Chain A
Amino acid sequence: MVEHAAPLTIVPPLPIGDLLETGFEWFKDTFDAFFDVVGDIVTGAIDGIAAVLLAPDPLVLAVIFALLAWLVRDWKLGIGTLVGMVLIIGMGMWDPAMDTLALVVVATLVALVIGVPLGILAARSAVVSRILRPVMDFLQTMPGFVWLVPVVKLFSIGVAGAMVATVIFALAPAVRLTELGIRQVDGEVVEAGQAFGAGPRQILKDIQLPLAMPTVMAGVNQVIMLSLSMAVIGGLVGAGGLGNEVVSGISTLNLALGFDAGISVVILAIFLDRLTASIGSRRPGHGRLRELRERFTRTPATSAA
């Protein structure tokens, strides 16, 4: 048997976790009312979207999703989507899947609303970039489960806490890839904007953001993927949706339920991934949406030329 050596007492005990907790308690007590309001808004938004998603017959929505996939990418993704959605319906997982989708949509939007402007700031200022980098490292590498503790304390059990944890967990790629995308824009092209007298805001809107778009969209794609995985983990704190099914599958050792929910997550993930990936990688001048738009906006003069 291995005898564990008694630790030398040179290193004093460092109650970092305790310190954080004390700080957090103060934070919670001070802003309790605020977080109540935030929680209500978040819950309302997610419930609202879920209600919209669940309003039509599942099959109708499945067809709409398939059409969307065809429009953004091609008929193959359209058919794949239809088959996947029908599978979810067949497994009886449609309602929880839509709950999860609503959570992912809201979490993604919030993460983008916070992350993209931060990314823009980081791209413009080396100081902001230097400050944000370790913060993003921290958010990204901290195990997702850890975030569940403080959010439950703030929002108690429920979908609001799960959403906040999801946003924290999924924020980093939005910031990082926005910054990267803007920094990658050819310096000469930005100079061209300046040389013709464009202001910083015009350059951002007309040059930097459009050119950074493929990279930003890759970030959006990652945010969605991370949101989905965290939304399932959120089942532990009452996120509802597929997460709840997975958790009850685990706690009752119900293999069938676990797999049904798990496969539904996989289908949702593939659908969202392909959809957003093809929006991001689409080069200007390609894609069915643009084709359609051009067909209807092309004036006789320009089509003659």
Chain B
Amino acid sequence: MPAIEAHHLYKVFGRKGREGVKRLQAGADTTELKKAGLTPAVIDASFTVEEGEIFVVMGLSGSGKSTLIRMINGLHPPTAGHVKLHGENITAATGKDLRRLRRERISMVFQHFALFPHRSVIDNAAYGLETQGVAKEERRRRAHEALELCGLTGWDEHLPSELSGGMQQRVGLARALAADTDILLMDEAFSALDPLIRRDMQDQLIELQQKLGKTILFITHDLNEAMRIGDRIAMMRNGRIVQIGTAEEILTDPANDYVAQFVADVDRTRVLTAASVMEPPVAVLGAEQGPRTAHKLMREHQISALFVTGRDRSLKGYVTEDEVGKHLEQKDITSLLKPVPDVARVTPDTSLADLFGPAAETPAIAVVDDAGRLSGVIPRITLLSALAAYAEADSEIETAAAAEPLTDQTKEAVRG
């Protein structure tokens, strides 16, 4: 069961919000509604977030993302549509039920930290447990653990005002973690921090998420942040979700010009991964085959070395043209195998930026999955032409389908 399901959420501010929703459903546009004194903040937003996923909602200010996140935990009741948390409808809940859901299911980290200035750091972190009715000793112990987890040791008895911004947001994060709900809402949680601390917090969040397996709904206006931490990203514009997909899907296949414009200035080498540029491993030798086959394959593909795999596609090593040429009469290839050096083995989700180092040392990089199987090959030339293609795409945004010419080019490059 998904952790969060949002079904056709609408939020229209104004006296006759419901009427506004009907008009939007009938095809009216935002400007029409604004003339009638209605402000549509969120229009027909639907998405699901799976358990343990980091789902990022990305949009500029005024795109409705803050309103959207507040409908998830019922701080703003939707004008239409509903939200389910683990199958439980929070939109229909009122009073006691709503508060119980918030205590047990969902906690929140705020843009400006929203710490309680009159409470010590540990009492801030313990707040969620306090509303849950946990006894004082117990909640202080757990709050202390959460603070340690967030890298704040020794500040328990201080007041939030004595902490720097980054540390205050750690308290905000610890407060949400201590509540021990499985869903975490983060409303521009890192936007008020300076860039270096922001990077640091992003890394820490990813680390924490891997450790604790929380479901995280993260709001941001910073595309780089979205790409860095999001498993999937929803792009929002003027209250509508215009595209949902992984960072790569959004980069390589933007749904419209708006998204394309947006992603134009992302550092693609950080977002794109080995998997997105690798070639299918066609020119690969089976371990049971002999030097003659190897020689033939190399001649066919105009390359000077071959990766060798076992029956289960596990990477065994590589052979070079020189060695094979000298031992053509040999039946077995095993004696000619050289182990693939560690630098030349990368995982599919290694970022492009991290491939440059290996590419300088070896003519081809093997992309190996977690089970040790060869899932693709990146010849040096492929990497370079991938970069060139993206550089072009950056300067000409309209070539949104940058992926197509890329593959053709690289194939030519490899063959030539």
Select which of B75, B118, B159 is within 8 A of A210 by beta carbon: B118
- Give chain A residues whose Cβ lies under 8 Å from the Cβ of B154: 305
Q: Which residues of B contact A194 (CB under 8 A)?
A: 75, 102
Chain B residue, CB-CB nearest to A197: B103
Decide yes or no whether A202 CB sits under 8 A from chain B. yes
* CB atoms of B118 and A284 under 8 A apart: yes
Chain A residues within 8 Å of B115, by CB = 189, 192
Determine whether B313 belongs to the interface, using a CB cutoff of 8 Å to chain A: no
- When distances are taken between beta carbons in the complex, the residues of chain A under 8 Å from B102 are 194-197
Q: Would you list which residues of chain A between 180 and 210 have a CB under 8 Å from chain B?
A: 186, 188-189, 191-199, 202, 206-207, 210
Residues 93-118 of chain B, each 1 if its beta carbon lies under 8 Å from chain A, else 0: 00000011111101110111011111
**A211:B100 contact, CB within 8 angstroms:** no
Whole-angstrom distance between the alpha carbons of A53 and B75 in the complex?
52
**Are B118 and A196 in contact (CB-based, < 8 A)?**
no
Q: A202-B131, A211-B118, A302-B156 are in contact. Are A195 and B73 (CB under 8 A)?
A: yes
CA–CA, A202 to B99, complex, Å?
Answer: 12
Does chain A have a CB within 8 A of B307? Answer: no
Q: Which of B103, B112, B157 has a CB less than 8 Å from the CB of A196?
A: B103
Residues 275-299 of chain A, each 1 if its beta carbon lies under 8 Å from chain B, else 0: 0000000001100000000000000
Are B128 and A189 in contact, with the CB atoms below 8 A? Answer: no
A195 to B179, CA, bound (A): 11
B156–A305 CB distance below 8 A: yes
In the complex, B314 has a CB within 8 A of chain A: no
User: How far apart sit A104 and B24, CA to CA, in the bound complex (Å)?
Assistant: 61
Question: What residue in chain A is nearest B102 (Cβ atoms)?
Answer: A197
Interchain nearest-CB distance for B109 vs A (Å): 9
Q: Do A196 and B127 form a contact, CB below 8 Å, given A284-B159, A302-B156, A305-B157?
A: yes
Shortest CB–CB separation between residue B129 and chain A, in angstroms?
9
In whole Å, how far is B67's beta carbon from the nearest beta carbon of chain A?
Answer: 12
Q: Tell me if A's interface is mostly helix, strand, loop or mixed.
A: helix
The answer to the question of B132 belonging to the interface, with a C-beta cut-off of 8 Å to chain A, is yes
Contacts of A186 in B (CB 8 A): 112, 114
A284 to chain B minimum Cβ distance, whole angstroms, is 5
The proximity string for B residues 297-309 relative to A, scoring 1 for CB distances below 8 Å and 0 otherwise, is 0000000000000
Give min CB distance, A267 to chain B, whole Å: 34
Cβ of B111 and Cβ of A197 under 8 Å apart? no
Q: In the complex the two chains form, is B131's CB within 8 Å of A196's CB? A: yes
Q: Tell me whether A197 and B157 are in contact in the complex, defined as CB-CB below 8 angstroms, given that A189-B114, A192-B108 are known contacts.
A: no
CA distance A78 to B190 in the complex (A): 48
Expressed in whole angstroms, the Cα–Cα distance for A198 and B130 within the complex equals 9
Query: Are A196 and B156 interface neighbours, CB within 8 A?
Result: no
Q: Which of B73, B101, B118, B156 has the most CB of A within 10 A?
A: B118
B114 touches A284 (CB 8 A): no
CB distance from B137 to the nearest CB of A (A): 11
Contact with A along B244-265 (1 / 0, CB 8 A): 0000000000000000000000
Check A188–B110 contact: CB distance below 8 A. yes
Contact check: which of B99, B104, B114, B132 meets A191 at CB < 8 Å? Answer: B114
Please report the C-alpha to C-alpha distance between residue A210 and residue B104 in the assembled complex, in whole angstroms: 26
CA distance A199 to B95 in the complex (A): 8
What distance in Å separates the Cβ of B280 from its nearest Cβ neighbour in chain A? 48
Q: CA separation between A189 and B113, bound complex, in Å?
A: 8
Contact of B99 among A199, A206, A210 (CB under 8 A): A199
Residues of B within 8 A of A207 (CB): 116
Closest to B73 in A: A195
| Assembly CA distance A206 to B118 (angstroms) | 9
Interchain CB contact under 8 A, B114 and A198? no
Which B residue's beta carbon lies closest to that of A196? Answer: B128
A residues in contact with B99, CB < 8 Å = 197-199
A/B interface sample: 15 pairs, CB < 8 A: A188-B110, A189-B115, A189-B117, A191-B75, A191-B110, A192-B115, A192-B175, A195-B106, A196-B127, A197-B100, A197-B101, A197-B102, A197-B128, A284-B117, A284-B118
Chain B positions within 8 Å of A, measured between CB atoms, are 70, 73, 75, 99-104, 106-108, 110-112, 114-118, 127-128, 131-132, 154, 156-157, 159, 175, 179, 185
